[in-house]
Amino acid sequence: MSLLQVKDCSKSFGGVLANDHISLEVPEGQIIGLIGPNGSGKTTLFNSVVGYHPVDAGTIEFKGQEISHLQVPQIARLGLLRTFQQTRIYGKMTCVQNMQISVPHASERLAEMFTSFPAEVQEKADAILEFVGLYSKRRLLAGDLSFGQQKLLEFGMALMNQPRMLLLDEPTAGINPTLINGIIDRLKRANAEFGITLLVIEHNMRVIMNLAEHIYCLAHGKLLADGAPDVIRNDQRVIDAYLGAH
Amino acid sequence: MNVILKYTLIAIAALAAPLLFPEYQIQLAWLWLMVVFALTWDAVGGQMGYNSFGNVFYFGLGMYVTAVVQRDLYYDFEEYETLAGSLDTLPPADYLTGMSLGLAASAVCAVLCAIVLGSGILRLRGHYFAICTLGLGIAAGEIAAGIDYIGAGSGLVTPVFPDGLGEKGLFFCYLLLALAAVTFLVLRWLYTSRFGLAINAIRDDEDKAEAMGLHTTRYKTIAWCVSGFFLAIAGGIMGDLIGFIDPVDTAFAGATFGVWMVLMAILGGKGTLWGPVIGATIFHVTQEIFWTFLFGWQRVALGALIVIIVVFFPQGVMGFARARWPDRFGHRVESVADKGATQ
Amino acid sequence: MDNLQILLDAPIFSVQLLIDGLLVGAIFALVAYGMALVWGVMNIINICQGEYVMLGGFITYLLFSWGISPFVGIPVAFVVLYLVGWLTYRVVICRVVEQDLFISILATFGISILLQQLMNQLFTADVQTAEAGLGTAFLFNNMVTVPWVKVVGFVLALSVGVVLVLFMGRSRMGQAIRATAQNARAARIMGIDTDRVYAVTYSINAAICGAAGALVVMTWVVQAFQGLAYTVRSFMIVVVAGIGNLPGVVVAGLGLGAAESYAGFLLGAEFQTAFIFSLLVVILLWRNYRLRAQRKVLR
């Protein structure tokens, strides 16, 4: 059974149909890509999945549980996490604090809210900071990091949260091309070593073809095509959508 | 060791001050109140980023609840209303019992109100929260001014301080010092726990905090309850110190206390532990100087002071220090080689 | 609640309350329009809005006490408050305009306290009024009384509003203001002097409030500590109507006037202020509650 299953999902904003009966499936343990020209409804679909807005029609199931009626924090606590296109971190806190507060909150009891973090959390934060290459900056305020470093930190925070599945909104946008390979590598390792299923929005074709095992392509709010990277790469409809032929 | 020494010295100074300068006892009592104001505001406004103009609501609530409990325990309502302050003073034991019960009741009321009001108001963000709380504080004062049971617009007299409990100034000075100290220590403990990081995260980016699965509503409500809890107790004590509660000018004084608490926290440095304490001290001294030398124009000068602080010094003393000497606050790059050394 | 019985027994009182409310509501709408302008263009919630109204009122009262007709007060208050607004912008507002919203709220709150205490020192906390001496109209067998000055005030408030709308739509400056409201950075790149736009916007807002204050002192009263109530009224109107919605501002302003008129009658005049501030809390919570269905919050 798939980890995430979107069925016939529709969402419109004041007459503009941003998602029109979209269905997709993300099997456990895989890396799935989501591509499409600007304005094709990728981010809307992400927002629907993580609960930012209610969907107009359709169902979204995570681990077999219907989640389209749940609020954002509830969905996050189920283990379905997202990162933002405009990177978001806690700017006035240090990197370590950013990591610590990202521990899973699913089983947090009232009394636990007033305790300090145990030593394991500290060690894990350090380990993940090392994994994303920010260990030496751990005492700096996150807001003082460069954009690329913030992106890495946000990814690290997501790992800290031990999600079952991670939705990444353009993980390489605005990143120095030499760093992109590092990011691809870390995403693959997160998938392989931590067992996190990934759903990735990406504009950079080289990245997504390299990363994903299966790709969905959206255009004008509709699902245009889906298949293995090679199939998508040679699909005439996908090429037309990207090059603007109608 | 260093920390313990520092705290001990401050405690000794604070305990000795009213004995060394007896003529300043009431001033010191007000200073500790200001510290409580600034600390409790900062817990919600500075640390959590929910800038409230309405925290004075809990102060006024505590004042009224304590006074009403004290009155209804030992006096007849009719008699008290007509004879007000000229009734016999209570025996010290009764006074203390009434006061403690009153303070306990006010703290409970404040926490309940914080939960109920918070369920709606804490869902507002940014400036909508600020202005909604402003409305809350003023509305509370105006409504209190219309309720006969608590003296309506003509105010409520609190029981007279009895003989046999020592000097009034000294008693309240130490009482408020104790409250300020407890508030400080509780907040200090909270800020080092998971709670502190969570409310900081809410301040920096609440959407992100929600997306990471934080129990934001729970954390926000608790922060508001903590703030209200201490403010209500402060209110109860102040009611007994001042001896008279005016609904708009002492209890729900949004345009004075309500703004001062914000100003003191900003002056000292929002979102820091010591900032509010420093800010409250500077502000209180400044205000006393204004009061002494500006005859009547002091409130105008205070308005100007607010503008000047906000416009030219919004980062506050601690914020300035942090930007100037980031090393002292531990914000430095550590080389990977350090890792072995620190562990 | 005894007054409710009166209202049910004699529905004609309802007409009286409605007319009173609508006439004063136009002035609320005018002040709210100014607040929406500053909010929309500069992203500042001007807490000293009500103090500018109060200042306009005191200027007119001062002229009146020297024997000058309060109608002269309208243009005079307009001009004087334009200068006050300009000065405030240059000294304070220009330093907070692109900062965190809370900083500007607090800064304008400081100005508000400064101005109200200043007026308290100069004019005491007494209630003042300026009698225009236009007489009163009697309607429905003398059951309903309408002071002519309120009608004139209503018409003038709407006229000032119309002139402003024309200014925004037709003049170069108006276009620059609207462009800055949509995207200040783009406007700056296209060569608009946004600093000047901000200064003009803020000053026009102060001037509108001044004119409104002159109308207030003629039709009602002026007092040193009344300002915050006007600020809160404007804020409520803008929140209900939305920032760019002019017809909404007019409707909400008139509606608020009527609601206050009824509330003052039913609850008693001593609860009027309590009503305004409680209504603010209720409106904000209600708006936010409605948005929650779409999982959004007011922002």
C290 touching chain A per CB within 8 A: no
Contact indicator for B220, B122 with CB cutoff of 8 Å = yes
B296 DSSP 8-state letter: T
Residue C30 CA to residue B24 CA, distance in Å, equals 50
DSSP of B47-91: TT----S-THHHHHHHHHHHHHHHHHHHS-HHHHHHHGGGSPPPP
The Cα C219–Cα C224 span in angstroms is: 17
Confidence of residue A245 (pLDDT cuts 50, 70, 90): low
Asked if B13 contacts B19 with a C-beta cutoff of 8 angstroms, the reply is no
Q: Do B222 and A94 touch (CB under 8 A)?
A: no
Mutate to test the interface with B, among A67, A83, A86, A90 (most CBs of B within 10 A): A90
H or E segment and range at residue C42: helix C12-42
Give chains near B: 3+ CB pairs under 8 A: A, C
In terms of CA atoms, which chain C residue is nearest residue B310? C107
Across the interface, whether the CB atoms of B123 and C277 are under 8 A apart is answered no
> Which DSSP state fits A94?
B
Chain A residue with minimal CA distance to B206?
A90
Residues of B in contact with C99 (CB under 8 A): 314
Which of A81, A114, A132, A144 is the best residue to mutate to test the B interface, defined by the most B CB atoms within 10 Å of its own CB? Answer: A114
Q: How far apart are the first and last CA of chain C?
A: 37
The number of angstroms, rounded, from the C-alpha of C84 to the middle of its chain's C-alpha atoms is 17
Give pLDDT tens digits for A25-42: 999 999 999 998 888 888
Q: How confident is the model at residue B340 (pLDDT cuts 50, 70, 90)?
A: very low
Q: Contact C270/B51, CB-based, under 8 Å?
A: no
pTM flag (> 0.80): yes
Annotated domain spans of chain B:
39-252, 255-329
Contact between B157 and B86 under an 8 Å Cβ cutoff? The reply is: no
CA distance B170 to B168: 6
Q: Where are the beta strands (DSSP E) in chain B?
A: 156-157, 244-245
- Judged by CB atoms closer than 8 Å, whether chains meet at C296 and A53 is answered as yes
* CATH of region C2-132+143-298, choose from 1.20.120, 1.10.3470, 1.10.760, 2.40.160: 1.10.3470
Residue bearing the bigger pLDDT, C133 or B56: B56
CA distance A65 to C83: 63
Q: Are A240 and A225 in contact (CB under 8 A)?
A: no
pLDDT at B342: 36
The mean pLDDT value for B110-133 works out to 93
pLDDT at C259 over 70: yes
Residue C8 has pLDDT above 80, yes or no: no
Q: Is C100 on the interface with A (CB under 8 A)?
A: no
- CA of A138 vs chain C CAs: smallest distance (Å): 27
Contact flag A106-B213 (C-beta cutoff 8 Å): yes
Chain C neighbors of A54, CB-CB under 8 A: 293-295
CB pair distance less than 8 Å for A54 and C295: yes
For position C3, what pLDDT does the model report?
Answer: 76
In sequence order, the β-bridge partners of residue A66 are A61
pLDDT in tens, B147-158: 888 887 888 888
- Residue A11: closest CA among A65, A68, A73: A68
The conformation of residue A136, written as its DSSP 8-state character, comes to G
Q: What is the pLDDT of residue B1?
A: 59
pLDDT of residue B201: 95
Cα gap C196→C89, rounded to integer Å: 10
C141 has a chain A CB within 8 A of its CB: no
Domain spans in chain C, listed from the N-terminal domain onward: 2-132+143-298
Residue of C185, C182, C150, C200 lying closest to C34 (CA atoms): C200
